[in-house]
Structure 1
Amino acid sequence: MERQLYAMHNQVRFVTDQPIDEAEWEELVRFFHYVDRQWSRFDKQSEVSRLNRLRIGDTLSVSLPLARLLARATRYFEQTERYFSPFLLAQQQANGYRQSFPFTQAVAYEEVAPPEIAPFIIEGCDVTRVGGGFIDLGGIGKGAAAMIAAQRLRKSWSRGLIEAGGDVIVWSEEEPWNITITHPETEQRVADMQLRQGAIATSNRVYRSWKTDGQTHHHLLDGRTGRPTRSPILQVTASAPQLYEAEVMTKLAFQMTETERQEKLFRWFPKGRLLILDTAGEWRSEQKGVSETWTG
């Protein structure tokens, strides 16, 4: 049984072994409406925007889901030595990303370096600003929303899939799910991943890109510099036990060399796997202790 709704600027698809009853569906719709209202950096009245307007020393009480997400994102920021950063809003805006997609042209300008320490302290639902930096939850927000919805559905549905703009989370007590990976430029099928439990996230430099003064920009920023990543990688698909982890892994992969991924990324996420497409058209499969050419 499949149902869909539009949220977070993506079509969100729900597939379950039995139909989702109307009461449960209405709860899911209400939750994603909450996410759209409160987690968006484009809505000036959202909780995220209100947090970004805090001055140092000010505190704001936010909803429990957002507080938990911000705490998790902050842990990843610190764990990954700032390779992953949820605090790059000013840098994204300087890069030209100041409106929701789709758009093809923008104006870029110079911006200050990103924060080196987390700008917020989270205590329960109270968030206090202690430094500079502005929240842009981006992909990890989308992944968190899908995770929360999956946790709710798993209580009553033994087999399910949630897909949201390249992010997929699955669970099954029987046969695994087949997840198809496509080429970012041709959209042709290039791989199939079999998963019974877990998540897959895909990021590339093609879908969310635009031009400023004739130069192509994209949304994948280096957490340490705040500048667009310069990488031979065109697309990364990551699989991990949790969608949060897969989302973070894709962002790290663009910033690291193959050696750095083995030394750092797979130390932080030892159960993760990567399928990487470079600009020369070569595919590589990577996991802890293994990096090899992938031929399908």
Structure 2
Amino acid sequence: MMRRVLAAILMLCALASCSRQPVEEHAFLMDTWCSITFYDRGDEELSDEAFAILEEIDARLDRFDTGSEVARINAQAGLSPVSVSEPTYKLIKRAKELSVMTGGAFNPLMGAVSDLWGFGSASPSVPDDDEIARLLEAVDIDNLVLDDGAMTVYLADDRISLDLGGIAKGHAADEVAAFLKASGVERAVVNLGGNVWCIGQREEDRPWTVGLQDPSSQDGAYFTTVSVSDSSVVTSGSYQRFFIEDGVAYHHILDPATGRPADSDILSVSLIMDDSTMADALTTALFVMGSTDAATFCRQWGLSAVILTGNGEEIRIGL
């Protein structure tokens, strides 16, 4: 059966010393619980506008919504290019760039393979190896053909399906955080179920303290904390979504090289950076890489990360 952890992967530690009570607004969007917590002001109209931004992004990027731009791209796979809006085009282009940056550990063309496993459905199951291999033949990032001038997207093989699930929430968090800042909000937390944007600081000259959830905890306890100032914290982990078949757990983070759940020694990996879009894609890639290669990658690119391995080792980089 499918088990879904709906609680946020990251938990903001209690802010008992704040001078005014925080105001929290929440909604279920983008297939997760989303919340915006204001610490310097409460504005229902502002939060409504922020959630409207999330709804608009979801309407464009949800591949299961037949009216979305991503669904239209997938419907024309192997047939013809599809014109899309500028925001969607830019995000898809960025997804392709991040795939190249990670050596393919992040790949936005894994939608059909994910569907083969049934992730997101009521009855996931282990697929046939031959069918996985057939789809993997087409999962080449060069099959994502972009035309900057015409702003079109073309999937060059009808066996592939564009899936922006590994980057969309990070993008949405960035957009909402930018909107709130432009609207004068100085202290707030945007939480999109594992993608957390901490605007400003907890108090003057004091950073936010964010707890990272212990994957083995049933009550949401965290295994460590990180200090954050005007930045995001994004986490990926194998415990977030999985199913069990014949006593074996199969998590949802697929390795683009094998088409199977990544055989990784990482339980969870978190990135702290002011670019939640990039962090969203990179945490997925880092999980696929495994702790040794992930740590090397983070040092090479100057990233701030916390990696928790299956043997309980906590690896901190750039913190």
Say whether the fold is shared (TM-score over 0.5): yes
Query: Counterpart in 1 of 2:314?
Result: 283
Contact 2:84 2:153 survives alignment (8 Å) = no
Q: Counterpart of 2:14?
A: none
Over 4 Å off, 4+ runs: none
* 2:266 partner letter: I
Aligned residue among 242, 250, 254 for 1:221: 254
Contact 1:120–1:129 (CA under 8 A) maintained in structure 2: yes
Question: Is residue 117 of structure 1 aligned with residue 148 of structure 2?
Answer: no
User: What CA deviation, in whole Å up to 9, does each residue of 1:186-241 have, x standing for no partner?
Assistant: 13222121111211111111120013454321111123333210012111122123
In structure 1, the gaps of 5 or more residues are: 291-296
**2:68: which partner in 1?**
46
Q: Return the structure number with greater relative CO, CA threshold 8 A, min gap 6.
A: 2
**Which of 164, 171, 180 lines up with 1:137 in the alignment?**
164
Measured in 2, the distance between the counterparts of 1:77 and 1:201 equals: 18
How far residue 119 of structure 1 moved from its aligned partner, in angstroms, is 1.4
Instruction: Give 3-state SS (helix, strand or coil) of 2:260's partner.
Output: coil
Distance 1:140 1:260 in 2: 21
Match of 2:185 in 1: 157
Per-residue CA distance 1:150-191 (angstroms, 9 max, x = gap)? 011011111221111111111216331111112122132221
Please give the alpha-carbon distance, in whole angstroms, between the structure 2 residues aligned to 1:116 and 1:150: 30
Question: Which moved further from structure 2: 240-249 or 56-65?
Answer: 56-65
Give the TM-score normalised by structure 1.
0.86
Q: State the partner residue of 1:106.
A: 125
Question: Which has the higher mean CA deviation after the structures are superposed, 217-226 or 104-113?
Answer: 104-113
- Aligned-residue identity in percent: 26
Query: Does residue 198 of structure 2 align to residue 170 of structure 1?
Result: yes
What displacement does 1:105 show? Answer: 4.6
Indicate how the Cα distance of structure 1 residues 29 and 98 shifts in structure 2: closer, same or farther if over 3 A, else same: closer
SS at match of 1:85: coil
Q: How many residues are treated as equivalent by the alignment?
A: 283
Amino acid at match of 1:286: I
CA distance in 2, matches of 1:258, 1:205: 13
1:11 aligned to 2:33? yes
Q: How far, CA to CA, are the matches of 1:227 and 1:71 in structure 2?
A: 25
Q: TM-score, normalised by structure 2?
A: 0.80
Contact 2:235 2:271 in 1 (8 A): yes
Name the CA shift for 1:266/1:90 in 2 (closer, same or farther; >3 Å).
farther
C-alpha distance in 2 between matches for 1:265 and 1:222? 19
Residues 35-76 of structure 1: per-residue CA shift (max 9 Å, x gap):
232211222222111111114462222233222211111110
Q: Any conservation in 2 of the 1:162–1:170 contact (CA below 8 Å)? A: yes
